[in-house]
């Protein structure tokens, strides 16, 4: 197969068709030029911007997920984490506005939605944050990897992913406590003694029976 | 996927009939394991140096690292740069859980990670976390399932602690703000996993590890923990009397070594999938190179069960760019069958992971696999069955991550099965610890994937996310109780180790995958590293990225 020519921060390199930007960098010994973490699309370390030779619109990408294309120009675009904000119990729109005062500055340009590598409807969700529709916000940000690109591209200093996490954690903290069933402690200890026998052969036999029945 | 058309037609053709019946569990799982599981391929050997010299066998790739020399110059100074009470090494779930458990203790805590906080295997975990919450369940039943799955090799004391910690850990995560999937009636949705006798796996779609890690990471950032990112641990210090007293870190940004004096060190460095044993692909993050095993070994810690690794049965096999990445086991528990090139459902997909992986390898070796244009061979995971069984939209709702990753390659798992092959996933063995997470060397604790014993010789789905929470926090509790006075920094243990039969031509830890060609220039001064490495300053220099939205 023919090689693909791309540029990393202005430097030309050859890549194999079908490989990602990260693997193309590895192959030519330039791994350090883009920060990597999981190389599986979920840690958000390897944020880059890309431009295309043929004039098609460029944008933001995760280098570990984006396959190389002929004439592609790649620029590392590391995003520093923003200060964390303590979540609250029973959050509402007013509280969100007080801890994230920029939420109402959104001018609906849509850059955040375009920038999101996880296809989250970010801008729409910012609208929902303004209105306090937090269950929907939590759903929107289920797949957020906190790469920070939505915040990075926002000219109005709105911090969608930070707010998304704050909403999710706040809702999480507001959940009722888990009810643990009352249990017969003597019976429990008896079952443990049965399962934890010192004889290794006997132990696995007892485990086999116990798992079928749920008791000894 | 025109190249697989013929086989795909067979898979579709047999689907209606397969839907109605279950495939049997293998009649002789031990035989399949012995003949086809990579642990039994014989690609292992004993080592000639350190506490395990001459006893148990290690995979060849790991054995080399255990016998390798340290990259630290013999003349390295022992002057303290950072003084802390506790040094946690590792920025994944175990390290973060440990850090949070120190809040309010008054101890000064530093957490060092080679990458950024949270860049770990934890964040990549998809399927879920086990906790005995169902009515018909109990921590004892969780114990029994896990013991059988681990072939009876699990350390019973550790395993009991894990299982008893399940419900409490879910409560702890919930109070931190984790959102797990719930049923319409508000109870946690519990799914089965390979080897669970009752539904016990909680999840947040197929992003469970991401949900847990982003919450832990946020909580750590809000805590008093001092986080040192891009700081790789190169070596441990001892006090000259075999007690660990700190660590040498390498600051990747400044290209310089940093000596940390600590009253207690917790290793939470995770696994070693990036050693890519026997040429297998891996589902692991780029930092999973077994660094913690090497560091602890040089201090005299014995390693256990490292002849046993977990090869996850469903690693992606096509497209090439996704090779080795995880396709979660939860898809199998939700009803997707494992099918060979002839459309035959050759094994029950809820068999234990090691047995299923071996059975898939058997199919491909015996000519019933599907060969990709890149020459890889795999079998089908019949993902379209999910919607057929659970209603239209079920796959997309429950497994958005799967859809998201494949759609870029114009593959829709709702309509087309995905090709899978086992991928190196988890280090079953590791550093021996006691029930307080203490290693055999004073001053050193360990928790999470870097340890060995808990999972025996085969780990069940959902037990590693639980492991890092239960034992991460437990290590911290033990440190709080047992922490000693500050000790001297010496490199005595390293110098002693250097007298044994080492392979002087290589050094370890390796820090990064071989394939990445990344090397830390340890031993060079910052100035030297900068002047010799002109290419990196040219490429990562301070330029402004262009506006991606300019039209």
Residue ranges per structural domain of chain B: 2-36+317-424, 69-123+207-308+428-482
Would the CB atoms of B141 and A36 count as touching at under 8 Å?
no
pLDDT digits (tens, 9 = 90+) for B27-81: 899 999 999 999 999 999 999 999 999 999 999 999 999 999 999 998 999 999 9
Chain A interface test: which of B145, B211, B214 (most A C-beta within 10 Å): B214
Q: What is the pLDDT of residue B542?
A: 39
The backbone torsions φ and ψ at residue B122, rounded to the nearest 5 degrees and listed phi first, read: -55, -50
Nearest to B540 among A32, A143, A180 (CB): A32
Q: What is the pLDDT of residue B22?
A: 86
Six-digit token pair at A73? Answer: 């120009």
Q: Looking at the DSSP assignment, which residues form a beta bridge with residue B68?
A: B503
pLDDT digits (tens, 9 = 90+) for B86-113: 999 999 999 999 999 999 999 999 999 9
Are A21 and A61 a contacting pair, CB within 8 Å? yes
Nearest residue in A to B140, CA atom:
A192
CATH number of the domain at B69-123+207-308+428-482, please?
A: 3.50.50.60
Nearest to B221 among A42, A84, A204 (CB): A84
Segment B454-458 mean pLDDT = 94
Nearest to B140 among A26, A171, A210 (CB): A210
Chain B residues near residue A29 by CB distance under 8 angstroms:
517, 535
Q: How far is A168 from chain B (nearest CA, A)?
A: 7
Q: How far is A159 from chain B (nearest CA, A)?
A: 15
Are B395 and B411 a contacting pair, CB within 8 Å? no
Q: How confident is the model at residue B549 (pLDDT cuts 50, 70, 90)?
A: low
Q: What is the ipTM of this complex?
A: 0.97
- The CATH fold assigned to B2-36+317-424 is Flavocytochrome C3; Chain A, domain 1 (3.90.700)
Domains of chain A: 4-76 (3.10.20.30), 93-173 (no CATH), 181-216 (no CATH)
Look-up: residue for tokens 């309509």?
B415
Q: What's the first-to-final CA gap in chain A, in angstroms?
A: 62
Residue B509: cis peptide before it, omega within 30 degrees of 0: yes
Are B45 and B369 a contacting pair, CB within 8 Å? no
Six-digit token pair at B77? Answer: 């100074």
Are B158 and B435 a contacting pair, CB within 8 Å? yes
Nearest residue in B to A44, CA atom:
B119
Q: What is the pLDDT of residue B273?
A: 98
Rounded to whole angstroms, the Cα distance separating B318 from B446 reads 37
Name the helix (H) or strand (E) containing B249: strand B244-251
pLDDT digits (tens, 9 = 90+) for B360-415: 999 999 999 999 999 999 999 999 999 999 999 999 999 999 999 999 899 999 99
Q: Of residues B142, B332, B425, B474, which has the active-site annotation?
A: B332
Are B86 and B107 a contacting pair, CB within 8 Å? yes
Chain A residues near residue B141 by CB distance under 8 angstroms:
210-211, 214
Q: How far is B176 from chain A (nearest CA, A)?
A: 6
Q: How far lies B112's CA from each of A41, B69, B226, B242, B537, in Å?
A: 23, 23, 8, 22, 24
- Asked whether the predicted pLDDT for residue B523 surpasses 90, the reply is no
Segment A150-154 mean pLDDT = 97
Q: What is the pLDDT of residue B535?
A: 43
pLDDT digits (tens, 9 = 90+) for B111-158: 999 999 999 999 999 989 999 999 999 999 999 999 999 999 999 999
């Amino acid at each position: 197969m023919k090689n693909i020519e791309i540029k990393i921060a202005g430097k030309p390199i050859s890549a194999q068709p079908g490989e990602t930007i990260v693997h193309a960098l590895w192959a030519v010994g330039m791994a350090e030029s883009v920060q990597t973490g999981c190389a599986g699309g979920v840690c958000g370390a390897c944020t880059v911007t890309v431009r295309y030779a043929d004039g098609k619109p460029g944008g933001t990408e995760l280098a570990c997920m984006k396959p190389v294309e002929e004439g592609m120009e790649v620029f590392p675009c590391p995003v520093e984490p923003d200060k964390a904000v303590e979540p609250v119990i029973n959050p509402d729109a007013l509280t969100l506005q007080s801890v994230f005062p920029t939420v109402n500055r959104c001018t609906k340009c849509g850059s955040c939605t375009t920038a999101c590598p996880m296809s989250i409807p970010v801008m729409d969700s910012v609208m929902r944050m303004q209105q306090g529709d937090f269950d929907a916000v939590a759903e929107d940000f289920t797949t957020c990897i906190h790469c920070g690109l939505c915040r990075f591209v926002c000219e109005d200093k709105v911090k969608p992913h930070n707010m998304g996490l704050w909403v999710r954690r706040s809702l999480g903290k507001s959940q009722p406590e888990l009810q643990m069933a009352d249990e017969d402690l003597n019976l429990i200890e008896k079952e443990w003694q049965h399962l934890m026998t010192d004889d290794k052969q006997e132990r696995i036999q007892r485990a086999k029976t116990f798992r079928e029945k749920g008791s000894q | 996927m025109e190249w697989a058309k013929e086989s795909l037609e067979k898979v579709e053709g047999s689907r209606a009939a397969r839907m109605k019946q279950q495939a049997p569990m293998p009649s002789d799982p031990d035989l399949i394991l012995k003949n086809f599981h990579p642990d039994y391929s014989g690609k292992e050997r004993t080592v000639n140096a350190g506490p395990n010299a001459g006893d148990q066998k290690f995979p060849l790739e790991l054995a080399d690292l255990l016998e390798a020399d340290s990259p630290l110059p013999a003349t390295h100074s022992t002057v303290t740069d950072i003084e802390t009470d506790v040094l946690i090494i590792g920025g994944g779930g175990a390290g973060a859980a440990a850090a949070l458990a120190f809040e309010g203790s008054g101890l000064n805590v530093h957490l060092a990670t080679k990458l950024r906080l949270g860049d770990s295997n934890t964040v990549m975990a998809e399927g879920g976390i086990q906790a005995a919450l169902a009515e018909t369940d109990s921590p004892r039943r969780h114990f029994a399932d896990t013991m059988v799955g681990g072939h009876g090799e699990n350390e019973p004391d550790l395993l009991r602690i894990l299982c008893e910690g399940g419900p409490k850990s879910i409560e702890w995560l919930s109070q931190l703000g984790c959102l797990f999937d719930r049923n319409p009636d508000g109870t946690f949705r519990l799914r089965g996993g390979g080897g669970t006798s009752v539904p016990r796996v909680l999840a947040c779609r197929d992003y469970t590890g991401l949900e847990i890690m982003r919450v832990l990471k946020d909580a750590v950032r809000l805590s008093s923990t001092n986080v040192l990112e891009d700081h790789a641990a190169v070596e441990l210090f001892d006090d000259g009397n075999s007690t660990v007293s700190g660590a040498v870190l390498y600051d990747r940004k400044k290209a310089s070594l940093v000596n940390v004096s600590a009253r207690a060190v917790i290793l939470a460095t995770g696994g070693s999938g990036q050693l890519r044993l026997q040429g297998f692909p891996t589902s692991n993050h780029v930092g999973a190179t077994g660094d913690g095993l090497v560091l602890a070994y040089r201090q005299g810690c014995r390693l256990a069960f490292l002849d046993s690794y977990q090869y996850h049965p469903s690693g992606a096999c096509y497209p090439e760019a996704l090779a080795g990445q995880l396709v979660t086991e939860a898809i199998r528990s939700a009803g997707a069958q494992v099918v060979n090139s002839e459309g035959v459902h050759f094994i029950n997909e809820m068999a234990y992971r090691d047995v299923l992986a071996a059975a898939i390898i058997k199919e491909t070796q015996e000519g019933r696999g599907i060969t990709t244009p890149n020459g890889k061979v795999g079998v089908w995971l019949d993902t379209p069955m999910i919607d057929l069984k659970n209603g239209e939209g079920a796959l997309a709702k429950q497994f958005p991550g799967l859809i998201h990753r494949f759609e870029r390659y114009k593959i829709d798992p709702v309509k087309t099965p995905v090709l899978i092959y086992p991928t190196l996933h988890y280090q079953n063995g590791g550093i021996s610890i006691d029930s307080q997470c203490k290693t055999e060397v004073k001053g050193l604790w360990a928790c999470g994937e870097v340890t060995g014993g808990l999972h025996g010789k085969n780990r069940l789905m959902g037990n590693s996310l639980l492991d890092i929470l239960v034992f991460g926090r437990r290590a911290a509790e033990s440190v709080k109780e047992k922490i000693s006075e500050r000790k001297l920094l010496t490199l005595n243990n390293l110098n002693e180790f250097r007298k044994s039969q080492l392979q002087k031509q290589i050094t370890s830890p390796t820090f990064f995958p071989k394939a990445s060609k990344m090397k830390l220039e340890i031993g060079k001064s910052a100035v030297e590293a900068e002047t010799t490495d002109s290419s990196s300053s040219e490429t990562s220099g301070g330029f402004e990225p262009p506006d991606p939205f300019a039209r």
